[in-house]
Structure 1
Amino acid sequence: MAVSAVMVFPVYWMVATALKERSDILSAVPKFVPWPISLENFTRALDKPGFWTFVRNSLTVTVSSVVLSLIISLFAAIAIARFRFAGRRAVLIILVLVQMVPAAAMVIPVYLMLRSVGGLDFLPGLVLTYMTFVLPFTIWTLRGFVDGVPVELEEAALVDGCGRFQMYVRVLLPLLMPGIVATSIFAFVNAWDDYIFAYVIMKSQDNYTLPVWLVSFKTSESVDYGAMIAASTIFSIPVLVFFLLVQRRLVGGMTSGAVKG
């Protein structure tokens, strides 16, 4: 209970601060309950120029990164787990080593690579960048789930008349749903929260994403704390909604697709 309170309190404080009046936000005496409730901070945040453009860019980049990384990692995980080929062990080692490299250390190499192929200030270039950091984790995670599915289930489906593609869709895919959900959450958060690559790769404001938009509330003259915190609250909503939509599959997918015997 105490751990839950510690984890939830920062979120509550963010939302409560977003609902406070400006004088209460900067008050030396903390006010734990926002009263009277004010929506002025949300109004200033939503009225910021380019907000809906940044929302569109963030959704485009995030959804594309999640979908593409899941498709590629699913096929790669099945290949690594089910087939024996030369260099398989080396691929597994590379997947682990790549995850140890800090993302910040890759900013300059990624920038130079995208510049050489004309991918700067281009949303697909940002999608490719996010996939570079997500794929090693998603492939490794899904490989563990594929290994956990008995091969006998696949063989039984083939014997019962399923084609190989039908077997993957009707038997293997439902059993892999917990892993797919876990990796999709990681991919979503990784793409949605990133600031440094979006700021470095994108040059024009029309291609900025929401994390870059959050920084715009800080200027050389002052910081609009109320609008910034309200914007942070708005920024957190899609992640919460996405998790609520997929969290049921974490448990439900563990039994779907199993055969009766």
Structure 2
Amino acid sequence: MTAAALDRRPYDENDVIDAEPAFSAVLASQPRRRRKAGRSRWAVGITVTVIGLFAFLPLYWLVITSVTPDADVFAFPPRFFPSTFTLEHYVSVFSDPVIFEYLRNSVIVSVITAVLSVVVSMYMAYAFSKFRFRGRTSLMYFVLSSQMFPQALLLVTLYVLFAQFGLLNTYQALVISFTTFTLPLCVWMLKGFFDAMPDDLIEAAKLDGAGHWRTLHSVVLPLTAPGLVAAGLFAFVRGWNDFIFALTLAGPEKQTLPPGLVNTYIGEAATAWPELMAASLITSVPVCVAFILLQRHLVGGLTAGAVKG
């Protein structure tokens, strides 16, 4: 039978498959799917809200306390929305020259720690990644094993060692201790980045007459800028946020911001919480700005070495 004849043939209900049971099953399943999707959205919303409160409520409380008058700071019950605001605590922080001394010490120690950590770790990571020598694997795990020991456990040993060499209450003691603890992670971070770099680039540089030193500085390092930024930012934050080593190894003239703020605003009889919150917020700005400006390089440096190319 031709197609034209089929089109002219009268409609026969036997030629059509009865789809009513299947269609009814689909209709019946739609409410269940909508209820399940609704429960999933509620669960995701509640989870995100709890995580957001856990992450941002302390920051909100820090900001609110820094602009709350002294008379209302210890009001009970606590006020999440103060009726009056003041900037006198920020004025008090900016008018205190000691805070700027601590800020200067933090900048000096953190920048030197970041530069030294990047310089040392990039050579170590490149050697581990592109060279094959006896004891390479053992040495790599030995470097990594240093992260297994609590840093505070080594504080007494470092204190005695620095005292013997006359390095207590100096920038050198802080820089050496911070760099020692940041090197293992920086080395492994950059090693993963170097591992992802094709060996063909290095072989091409060698064919052009470049030695290992020229290859590293002219070919490899320009391509590993995100990894270097990530390692440097990690070392900078490590030096900026440290408390126990800066409190123990540095005297009053060389202390950085974390122990300096504690010694300035926290006393035996009372604590100037509004000034402490204002100072903490001000000193957090440089790190936040650095993360914002270097976010693209930081994410690239942390993820580029995850997949070998």
The answer to whether the superposition gives a TM-score over 0.5 is yes
Instruction: Return the offset for 1:194.
Output: 0.8
Of stretches 106-115 and 238-247 in structure 1, the one that deviates more from structure 2 is: 238-247
Q: Contact 2:193–2:301 (CA<8 Å) still a contact in 1?
A: no
Matched, 1:212 2:262: no
Matched, 1:124 2:210: no
Cα distance 1:34–1:239, how it changes in 2: closer, same or farther (>3 A)?
farther
Matched, 1:47 2:98: no
Aligned equivalent of 1:18, options 66, 69, 75: 66
Q: Contact 2:230–2:297 (CA<8 Å) still a contact in 1?
A: no
What is the aligned partner in structure 1 of residue 134 from structure 2?
A: 86
Give the superposed CA RMSD. Answer: 2.3
Q: Contact 1:17–1:34 (CA<8 Å) still a contact in 2?
A: no
Structure 1 unaligned blocks of 5 or more = 257-261
Offset from partner CA, 1:168-226 (integer Å, 9 cap, x none): 345422432332222222211111011111111123x2111111111121112211111
Whose relative contact order is higher, 1 or 2, with alpha carbons under 8 Å and at least 6 apart? Answer: 1
Structure 2 unaligned blocks of 5 or more = 1-47, 305-309
What is the aligned partner in structure 2 of residue 147 from structure 1?
A: 195
Q: Which amino acid aligns with 1:69?
A: S
Q: Structure 1 stretches (4+) deviating beyond 6 angstroms?
A: none
Q: Contact 1:65–1:187 (CA<8 Å) still a contact in 2?
A: yes
2:300, 2:187 → 1: CA distance?
22
Q: How many correspondences in the alignment? A: 255
1:250, 1:135 → 2: CA distance?
17
Aligned equivalent of 2:249, options 198, 201, 206: 201
Partner secondary structure for residue 208 of structure 1: coil
Aligned equivalent of 1:73, options 121, 131, 134: 121
Q: State the identity as a percent.
A: 36
TM-score computed with the length of structure 2 as normaliser:
0.76
Q: Contact 1:177–1:250 (CA<8 Å) still a contact in 2?
A: no
Partner secondary structure for residue 20 of structure 1: coil
Larger Rg: 2
2:230, 2:300 → 1: CA distance?
13
What is the aligned partner in structure 2 of residue 259 from structure 1?
A: none
